[in-house]
């Protein structure tokens, strides 16, 4: 005999569970598509650095070795691309933006209300400080327990899983604080300034 409620106590999620994980207009994929606006840059680790820049021109920089010494976390999150694929339970290793900001403050870099992330290859994206602090964003260096593959942004990419994946800038090298919200690459081409998948903030003008 099968109890009508027993299903909920077993391992598998019922259909409603998947529906709850899928933002409006999205479908689930088990692939990991590569979406890059240009060629994959390959900066050797001994020439790689990460820089945090204040609005007053103060900067803090870390070499790869110094960056590796910052506290790393492993996080499991769903990701959502504006081209409508979502991938559930992806596992990343990285340094939280909170930890980077704290380390930057110790070197005299003061935060401001917005950021622009800048990458090898010239890609940029903008974010409010509130969307990258409070345990919501990381600079990821690992995926599935391995170093992040260059096509997916290795050696290091921004990971902001609660917003559309174009905000998760691959090959990120710099975070610049800004007093005003300034459009990045896709935002300047008609994509939404914030990009919350649960509100379907895909394009300029979407509420």
Ligand X SMILES: Nc1nc2c(c(=O)[nH]1)N[C@H]1C(S)=C(S)[C@@H](COP(=O)(O)O)O[C@H]1N2
Q: Which residues bind Mo ion (CB under 5 A)?
A: 35, 81-82, 166
Residue 33's binding partner among ligand X, Mo ion, none (Cβ under 5 to 8 angstroms by kind) is ligand X
Does the footprint of ligand X cover residue 64 (CB under 6 A)? no
Q: What is the b/e burial string over 137-171, where b = at least 16 CB atoms within 10 angstroms of the residue's CB?
A: bbbbbbbeeeebeeebbbbbbbbbbbbbbbbbbbb
Using the rule CB under 6 A, which residue among 26, 169, 175, 176 binds ligand X?
A: 169
For residue 97, which of 182, 161, 23 has the smallest C-alpha distance? 161
Across the strands, what pairs with 51? 61, 174
**# residues near ligand X by CB under 6 A:** 17
- Smallest separation (angstroms) from Mo ion to the CB of 29: 13
Using the rule CB under 6 A, which residue among 17, 18, 34, 199 binds ligand X?
A: 34
Using the rule CB under 6 A, which residue among 136, 152, 176, 202 binds ligand X?
A: 152
124, 128, 129, 131: CA torsion to nearest 10: -100
Binding site for ligand X (CB under 6 A): 33-37, 81, 119, 121, 123, 152-153, 165-166, 168-171
């Amino acid at each position: 005999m099968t109890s009508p409620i027993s299903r909920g106590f077993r391992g598998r999620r019922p259909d409603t569970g998947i529906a709850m994980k899928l933002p409006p207009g999205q479908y689930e994929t088990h692939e990991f598509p590569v979406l890059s606006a240009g060629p994959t840059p390959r900066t050797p680790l001994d020439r790689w650095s990460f820089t945090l820049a204040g609005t007053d021109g103060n900067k803090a920089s870390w070499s790869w070795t110094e960056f590796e010494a910052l506290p790393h976390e492993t996080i499991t999150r769903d990701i959502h691309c504006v081209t409508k694929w979502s991938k559930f339970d992806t596992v990343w290793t990285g340094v939280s933006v909170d930890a980077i900001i704290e380390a930057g403050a110790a070197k005299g870099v003061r935060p401001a209300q917005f950021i622009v992330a800048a990458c090898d290859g010239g890609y940029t994206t903008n974010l409010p400080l509130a969307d990258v602090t409070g345990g919501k964003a990381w600079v990821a260096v690992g995926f599935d327990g391995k170093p992040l593959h260059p096509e997916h942004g290795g050696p290091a990419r921004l990971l902001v899983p609660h917003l559309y994946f174009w905000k998760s800038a691959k090959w990120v090298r710099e975070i610049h604080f800004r007093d005003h919200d300034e459009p990045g690459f896709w935002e300047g081409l008609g994509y939404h300034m914030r990009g919350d998948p649960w509100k379907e903030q895909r394009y300029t003008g979407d509420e």
